[in-house]
């Protein structure tokens, strides 16, 4: 099997579990060395690294709160120091806090923006300084930016919508440097935050065209394509992987 990402290095933020962990595993399976960040799950991050290494891959877990700019910058630096480059950045880390707009504490707003928006800006800025032509920047957005399936998620949707706007302009900055920027918008996916048997599933489940929640590995497959040489002409794209929920 051809390892399409052999010789590449990826940084995947928030990848100790669920979609992030699946992305880290898939990119290493395709040949990349992967640094994965975590903030509250060191044991789970270590498990992901162990699984990757057991399959012959190279991985590094880095403690870094995605809402702390200095920690994010340090994660990029350590990735480069350890593996020699940064070729792929996957901004996966995110918070999903919510509630009625009238009741949301301002502190919740600030924390969500710090992790879901500012953290992405900082990671992108720092990685772009070191990326060479052929670099890939990939965001994990949300199908909620296309269809608000239930209430109490307005703040979450605000932060995910910011990613979309950021990327549309960023392609003009980074395109001439040979760096692509794309977004994957997952729909209902079986994760710790939104399990297939959880309360949200009862609301959105009937609207999923294929009749089931997605699996983290299915989102990772889309990311792997965008990270690959085959996606060299794809930039500024938003790929919705939601089982037809927003169709």
Which residue shows structure tokens 């794209």? 237
Q: Which residues are catalytic?
A: 156
Task: Work out the pLDDT band at 114, boundaries 50, 70, 90.
Answer: very high
Give the tens place of pLDDT for each residue, 37-82: 999 889 999 999 999 999 999 999 999 999 999 999 999 999 999 9
Mean pLDDT confidence for 184-210: 94
Task: Work out the pLDDT band at 86, boundaries 50, 70, 90.
Answer: very high
Superfamily name with CATH number, domain 9-241: NAD(P)-binding Rossmann-like Domain (3.40.50.720)
Give the tens place of pLDDT for each residue, 128-152: 999 999 999 999 999 999 998 889 9
Alpha helices in the chain (DSSP H): 18-29, 42-54, 69-83, 106-113, 119-128, 154-174, 199-204, 216-227
- Phi first, then psi: give them for residue 185, nearest 5 degrees: -105, 95
Contact partners, residue 236, CB within 8 Å, separation at least 6: 167, 168, 171, 181, 182
Query: In this model, does residue 237 exceed pLDDT 80?
Result: yes
Task: Work out the pLDDT band at 193, boundaries 50, 70, 90.
Answer: confident
pLDDT given at position 2: 79
Return the domain boundaries, the chain: 9-241
Task: Work out the pLDDT band at 223, boundaries 50, 70, 90.
Answer: very high
């Amino acid at each position: 099997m051809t390892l399409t990402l052999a010789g590449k290095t990826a940084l995947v933020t928030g990848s100790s579990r669920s979609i992030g962990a699946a992305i880290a595993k898939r990119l290493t399976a395709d040949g990349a060395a992967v640094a994965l960040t975590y903030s509250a799950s060191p044991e789970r991050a270590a498990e992901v690294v162990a699984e990757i290494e057991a399959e012959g891959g190279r991985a590094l877990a880095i403690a870094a709160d995605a809402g702390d700019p200095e920690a994010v910058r340090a994660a990029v630096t350590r990735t480069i120091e350890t593996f020699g480059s940064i070729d792929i950045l996957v901004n996966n880390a995110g918070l999903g806090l919510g509630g009625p707009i009238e009741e949301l504490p301002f502190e919740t707003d600030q924390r969500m923006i710090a992790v879901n928006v500012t953290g992405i800006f900082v990671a992108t800025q720092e990685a772009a300084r070191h990326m060479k032509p052929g670099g890939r920047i990939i965001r994990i957005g949300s199908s909620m930016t296309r269809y608000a399936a239930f209430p109490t998620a307005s703040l979450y949707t605000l932060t995910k919508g910011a990613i979309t706007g950021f990327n549309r302009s960023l392609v003009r900055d980074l395109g001439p440097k040979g760096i692509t920027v794309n977004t994957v918008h997952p729909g209902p996916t079986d994760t710790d935050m939104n399990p297939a048997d959880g309360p949200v599933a009862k609301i959105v489940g009937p609207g999923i065209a294929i009749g089931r929640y997605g699996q983290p590995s299915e989102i990772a497959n889309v990311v792997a394509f965008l990270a690959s040489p085959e996606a060299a002409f794809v930039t500024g794209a938003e790929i919705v992987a939601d089982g037809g929920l927003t169709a």
